[in-house]
Structure 1
């Protein structure tokens, strides 16, 4: 990557991380302090936790499409301002409905698709995956930091203080966007990074992709619902002061990431994706059942969370990989758009369902409900086809007419190791699915490096 590409990737990752940090910091503490708000009930507390997910799921694809027309940086700036406004509304709220409104406004600043599109504008095809990986890692890091920082900040500055801090983070993102993120010389749609409306129906009809969309919805439903009750179990059931919760989350998260790595190696390098994937769902299920059984014992809760987070981290890493492997070569961006919307919808449903279950049946009802969702997911995932171990490859091909693009796609399809080839003339790009172990790199380079074939 060039210096400019690295700068773009790191800067956009920073914007994304600060936004997600603000969203996630509420997760481990909101249930602990939400009773101070007028009108608070368990159901409304859960709704407040997950409200951002509804607007995020609803608006992220439209925001990405609007960025094609009005400019990436402008749409991202509007999204960050909406996020800051929502944070201020929540910070000033004295009723639970005010917080719900603020959280919904936070989610309305749905910049994910626009950020990915800008990252694609600012990186060459052969380095785009690296830039997306940097952004993806920033999201995982922000989640881990939020679970650790949230309890400390909740103790020292309260929920209102966290919302004020979240507003500051959003405004800091605006500074990074203005002064650190380069402006692209050219903005155009990127089929590998953002949704394409013409592909919506085909993607929504693909049962393989829908199975994965259900998976990420279930995973984040379970996560969000669990955090409606888990902080209360730690405080009221185990007598652990809120500012001490971070000392429980930190080692569990660190150890779970370390244990996750061998599983990921087995899944990708040893081509055992399906059994590892199913085992991870079983871990999530086992973690929830362990919380039902041992919620009154500190050691039992620690063990349950460790098992849960090993499974959670494996699934968070493998689900995007499976989407990439499963989606058609030129539809990855569209598939990822609906996948991300499903993730945020899961957070909304998890908050709402967790609040209702906690109000009626307590923490046991929440954990049992999450276990049931995991069991349903396991049954759905068991029918998953064995994934093809293919990698996506983008190759710039220069200006071509549609007949030339079709001819080049056919020739690319004959290269050893190229499983699927789509050449889109207006994108000046070939979208490939390749078997890395069988790919003839020399033949591929010779073909795309030569002059374009004569058209009709």
Structure 2
């Protein structure tokens, strides 16, 4: 087991899965498909979706501080309640003005969930397993997002009542799980040793230094989510361009998943026992190489090389996830862990949101070569950033 209190972590992960299933299903499927029938036009729906994700991104840092003061469990319960009211209100009393406001407030409170989960996962991780615990926490949401897209969409198309029932039931479950965590607070950091009388000045300088280490992570946090974000809106156009169907991805997808799991296990152990850079560096280089290989290949070549590219992608991404999460865990200030996680994840969200814009522009300029060439460049520049400007400061943080 990766955590010292597995039941607490399992409850938090279940809350995350239920919450993300509802959020993805509501914004990706229910609103676009059922909103017009409720009198909500495209502009209103766009405003609701945009307000939610904007306030989610902007609220991660500030809401991390709020959760440190009020208690994580209470803020999680507030977010689950706002989600239930927003979904129920949209179903029963659709309105443009309060729909946008409700989605914004839901996003603001939802911004606590991810930083809180990662903070607790880091604090409860067993010694020597932090990088793996964080990587598992980070990736656990994938089934919920897929369910929101692939389950809720067809369900609401077949029966709107069944779709709304699923969303409301899952959000009600999320509220019950959050109420069960009502008394949860972020584990208190270890108290520092007493200082001599001259220590107050040094103490005042320590916190800014810790936050400077967080600032070192932010450019790379933006860049490395920007790269996969390039492909968000281009998945089906790329398949059409390459002459591929979803069935053609079944075997390569299974190979990529197996390689990812193996890489995460082996290199996650290396990141925990040695230093995260030993997993992060080869991971970024391998991702850059895979993107570059696809960029310089034409359609038939990519189709023939899928069985080679897929496992390399899985190994590279597994190494990257283990190294990145381990590096962030070693760098964040212990006294304000939730707020620091929120800051890093907010910048990651901004990078992911900018990816589709740049990906669309690269597609118009160079189609497959433009998109994957830009992705390879982003990964390579991120690698150079870790190896040069931020290397000394992050190394000292990791050794602290």
TM superposition score normalised by structure 1: 0.61
- Evaluate the alpha carbon distance shift between residue 307 and residue 26 of structure 1 in structure 2; reply closer, same or farther with a 3 A threshold: farther
Contact 1:75 1:114 in 2 (8 A): no
1:306 aligns to 2:305 (yes or no): no
Deviations 1:7-52 (A, max 9, x none): 322211211233345567899x99xx99x99879xxx99x999986
Distance 1:220 1:373, change over 3 A: same
Structure-2 separation of matches of 1:246 and 1:101: 41
> 1:141 Cα shift?
2.5
Out of 252, 256, 260, the position equivalent to 1:256 is 260
Cα drift, residue 377 of structure 1: 1.0
Q: Distance in 1 between matches of 2:232 and 2:90?
A: 19
More RCO (CA 8 Å, sep 6+): 2
- 1:139 aligned partner: 138
**In structure 2, what is the Cα distance between the partners aligned to 1:156 and 1:302?**
33
The alpha-carbon deviation at position 223 of structure 1 amounts to 1.7
| Residues 287 and 307 in structure 1, CA contact (< 8 A), matched pair in contact too | yes
Identify the residue that residue 10 of structure 1 maps to in structure 2. Answer: 10
Higher share of residues assigned helix? 2
- Please say which structure displays the higher CA radius of gyration: 1
1:85-117 CA-to-partner distances (Å, cap 9, x unmatched) read 66679999xxxxxx9999867643212367449
Q: Deviations over 1:256-279 (max 9, x none)?
A: 22134333344444x364343222
Q: Is 1:373 paired with 2:378?
A: yes
Alpha carbons of structure 1 residues 129 and 72: separation in structure 2 relative to 1, 3 Å: farther
Question: What is the SS of the residue equivalent to 1:226?
Answer: coil
User: 2 CA distance for matches of 1:26 and 1:287?
Assistant: 34
Does residue 277 of structure 2 align to residue 274 of structure 1? yes
1:64 match: secondary structure: helix
Superposed displacement of residue 221, structure 1: 1.6
Distance 1:356 1:55, change over 3 A: farther
Q: Note the residue ranges of structure 2 that are not aligned, 5 or more in a row.
A: 93-98, 191-203
Instruction: Please report the RMSD computed on the Cα atoms of aligned residues, expressed in angstroms.
Output: 5.1
CA contact (8 A) 1:225 1:355 kept: yes
The alignment status of 1:170 with 2:171, answered yes or no, reads yes
Does structure 1 retain, via aligned residues, the 8 Å contact 2:256–2:312?
no
Which residue of the partner structure matches residue 339 of structure 1?
344
Q: Deviation string for 1:377-411 (max 9, x for gaps)?
A: 122122143766998xxxxxxxxxxxxxxxxxxxx
**2:52, 2:106 within 8 Å by CA — same for their partners in 1?**
yes
Pair 1:346–1:148, CA change in 2 (3 A): same
2:327 matched to 1:322? yes
Counterpart selection for 2:292 from 289, 300, 303: 289
Instruction: Give runs of aligned pairs for residues 77-96 of structure 1, distance below 5 A.
Output: 77-84=77-84
Once residues 124 and 277 of structure 2 are traced to their aligned partners in structure 1, the CA distance between those partners, rounded to angstroms, is 29
> If each structure's strand is expressed as a fraction of its own residues, which one has the higher value?
1
Number of aligned positions between the proteins: 367
Distance 1:299 1:90 in 2: 47
Q: Report if the CA contact (8 A) 2:288-2:376 is conserved.
A: yes
